[in-house]
Structures are given as C-alpha cells and as structure tokens.
Amino acid sequence: MHQATRADIDRWMTELSNWGRWGKTDQIGTVNLITPAKRKEAAALVKDGVSISLAHDALTVKALDNDSPFGHKMLYTGAHPNGDWFMDEYTVAFHGLAHTHMDSLAHTAWKGRMYNGFPQLDVTSEGAKELGITNFRDGIFSRGVLVDIPRLRGVAWLEPGTPIYPEELDAWEKKTGVRIGSGDVVILRTGRWALRAAKGPSDPAKVAGLHASCVRWLKERNVAIAGSDACLDVVPSGVAGVVQPVHQLMLIAVGTPIFDNLDLERLGEEAAKRNRWTFLITAAPTPVVGGTGSTLNPTGVF
C-alpha cells in the first residue's frame, strides 16, 4: 500500500520538476516530447483506417456528476428559421467530471506558482497571461497507449474510489508487451462510462483513478500527455489536504497537460478485438486566448 502526505507532494513538486528543461519561457511542457520523428512514428501506426472518437456526447441534463450541464439552445429552427438557416448556441463550463476536455498548464498552481514558475496572479479576469490553451492550437498528434485496468483485473469497471498504483501500470505493460515511452499519450480506462450506463451517475466524491505515487512513473517514462475517462486522480486522493495531487503534480511540476472525461468504451472494445493497445491519437483544442483549457474531441485511429 502506497502512502503519501502533503509533505510528500511538496517534495515531489521539486523532485519531479521539469521547470527549465525546455527553457525558462517554455509553455508547453512535456508536449515538447512529441517531436517530428514521434509524429511520423505515430502516423505509421494506422493500419486499418478505423477512427474512433474518444469524447463523450455532451451531457445536457443536470446529474450527480454533472452540476453544470452543457447548454444547447436553438436560436432558429425549421418552424422558425432565419431565412433558410437554422442556428444554435452552445455554453459550457467544461472543467469538472462531466465534459470531455483538455487542461492547459494554467489550470492550477501550488504555493502561488504554476508550471515553469509562472505566477498564479498572471491568471486574471481576462484569462491566463501564460500557459493558456492557445499554446496547443497546432494540435496533438502522437502515439496513444491505452492502459485498461478493468481488463487487467478481469472486471467490467473499477468501483468508485478505487486507487491504481504503479505496480498495475507495470503489470499492464507486461500483459500487453507495450512499453510506454517518450512522447506517448497515455490513456487510462477505469470503465467509468460503462459503470454510469449500468448504474447511473456516481457521487463525484468517489472516483477511480491514479494514486499520487504514479506520477513519478509517468515522469520517468517521459509521457507527453495523460488522460482518463474520469479525472485521472483517484478521489478521495488519500493525501490529506490535497484533493487532486496527480493533477497538480502533472500540470505544475512535470508540465504535462491532461485529458479529462474521455469516453473509452469503444476504444477499449476495438483495442481488445485487435489485441492492439497502441494507436494514432489526434486532438486539437479550441484556441481561446487566455483559456485554461478547452472542450475536446480526440480521435484514436487504428
């Protein structure tokens, strides 16, 4: 059993830091590891031409795990068109446990500092001065690696609040023969959406995910981006006084953007059918100046 305290998180903020690794002004962190060579390697993974969305349909109804529903308002309809045109309006507060999105490195701070030492006061009512989502406007194009812990355990899903430790990441590599490496986008399936479909929304106070001790493992493998079908962190975190230590360590110390609330059910099925756990992953956020993240529709291509 792994234990971690707030003092450990504070120490890991220094031990696992990538600050200055790509220069003092760097704003994309480990995405620097997705090199032109890495993109070419990822493109070569496309064998079948099968493309799968990793986004969940927008949740427009308030629920236990969706306190801020996606807003969809029709402005002009077939019965009341604007000339020959139909139009609608979207509104979304995407951070949270409902909507598929990407966290930029401006999403959180520790002791007043964000990744690479940028001050949290640079995030104002006008948005983030540095580390915003526009830094990723050219998109993500790399090797995706699915880590399917329910399949490793032989269950349909992980129960809410289940922690995942580094030993299981090792066990998944051993089972699949896939070693996670530099520039990879690691995608963690907990079965969250399968659980929701079977039993309805779960209390967000309990979420299956990574224990804080996994961050060192991901840093040592030079992962470019990490994502999951929930919030990546296990909740409760097991670290008194720190709600989401994985988020904070990854975004602040390591400089790794995060994909949250991916829908990985179809990807898991297609990967299992092929016994193939790597694929081309592509994603591009909406380039909102000063944005701390963006809704997202990533795709996995086999």
Domains, in order of start, for the chain: 6-56+100-301 (3.50.30.50), 58-96 (no CATH)
pLDDT tens digits, the chain, 302 residues: what are they? 688 999 999 999 999 999 999 999 999 999 999 999 999 999 999 999 999 999 999 999 999 999 999 999 999 999 999 999 999 999 999 999 999 999 999 999 999 999 999 999 999 999 999 999 999 999 999 999 999 999 999 999 999 999 999 999 999 999 999 999 999 999 999 999 999 999 999 999 999 999 999 999 999 999 999 999 999 999 999 999 999 999 999 999 999 999 999 999 999 999 999 999 999 999 999 999 999 999 999 999 99
DSSP β-bridge partners for residue 169 = none
User: What is the value of pTM for the model shown?
Assistant: 0.97
Phi (first) and psi of residue 13, to 5 degrees? -60, -35
Residue 77: the pLDDT is 98
The residue behind tokens 């989401």 is: 244
Query: What single-letter amino acid sits at 63?
Result: A
- Supply the DSSP string of 96-133, one letter for each residue: SSSS-EEE-TTS--BTTB-GGG-BGGGEETTEESSS-G
Residue 96: the pLDDT is 97
Residue 1: the pLDDT is 63
